[in-house]
Structure formats: structure tokens, C-alpha cells
Amino acid sequence: MKTPLPAEVKAKISALYWKQKVLLVTNEQLEFVNSGWNLTHPDFKLLLTPLSDITDEHYIGVAECYDYDANLTTHSKSGAIIQGRNIITIYKNSSIRLNMEAADYLRSLSYALPFTTSINGKPVTYSVEELVEAGIIKLITKNK
């Protein structure tokens, strides 16, 4: 990891996933909490889905974030799935950044995304893998 994850960065990441399920390990039990988050709890983690598990329905949503109209026909829906897949594939290969609408959409569905912030006036990006390593994210697989 580039640098240890400062508490301020942990709070900013958590704010992006407000109202999502979180994981707290207390008394060796799992708790899902939607409010009253205790970010200082050593076992606090966001339960997020890897982008590799994105569903066709969510691919359509990503395409719509890029002004693709999937409401016309079945053909349009399959085209939107392809368009969404293409956007995510290119994004995962680091050729483009997601627009803000698509990133917010995916976060609202609990997908794990990298996080960029400013530390000492310089941009620092934490990959999903680094956020997992830092202990703020726990990746979970959803059944498709």
C-alpha cells in the first residue's frame, strides 16, 4: 500500500457508501448496521461487491449513465448490456475513468470502486485491493 490509510480517508470512503450494509465483528458475531456507524471500531468494514460480479441489470444502468436509452425495445436492452459491459471492461483496464454519475450509481448498489483523495495537496488513489488490505472493505459475492 502507498501509505497507511488515515482515519480521515476511511471516513470519506465510508461517506460514499452511506446507508450500505457494514460489517462489525462483536462477540464473534456479524452485525449488519445501516446507521450509527462506529468508524473507530477495529472490526468495522464495508461489505461491498466486486465489480466483476456486476449484473446485466446494472450494466444497463451504467449504460444509461452515459445517455444510452434502454427503454425502447428488447434489442435496446441487449445493446445497453453490451454498452455497459464495454464501459466497465475499458474502465477495469484503466483506459477511462467512470463519469461521476456511473460511479455514484455503482456505489449506491454496493460495488467496490477505487478511491482518490488529496493527501498533502497531492492526489492519492487507493485501489480496491489496497482498501481490502487496509481493512475498510470486505468483498462479498452476490448470487447472480
The overall average pLDDT reported for the chain is: 82
The confidence band for 36, taking pLDDT boundaries of 50, 70 and 90, is low
User: Percent of the chain, pLDDT > 90?
Assistant: 34
Instruction: Answer whether residue 30 shows pLDDT above 60.
Output: no
* Of 94 and 99, the one with more pLDDT: 99
Q: How far apart are CA 114 and CA 133, in angstroms?
A: 13
Q: Specify the pairing of strand 115-119 against strand 29-33.
A: unpaired
- Kindly tell me if the per-residue pLDDT of 48 is higher than 60: yes
Tell which residue, 9, 36, 10, 32, has the closest CA to residue 21: 32
Say if pTM beats, i.e. exceeds, 0.85.
no
Q: Is the pLDDT of residue 68 over 90?
A: no
pLDDT at 50: 95
Q: What's the pLDDT at 61?
A: 93
From 9-13, 74-78, 94-98, 121-125, the region with the lowest mean pLDDT:
74-78
User: Quick one: how many helices (H) and strands (E) in the chain?
Assistant: 5, 6
Helix, strand or coil for residue 118? strand
The answer to whether residue 3 scores a pLDDT higher than 90 is: no
Closest residue by Cα to residue 12 from 113, 138, 109: 113
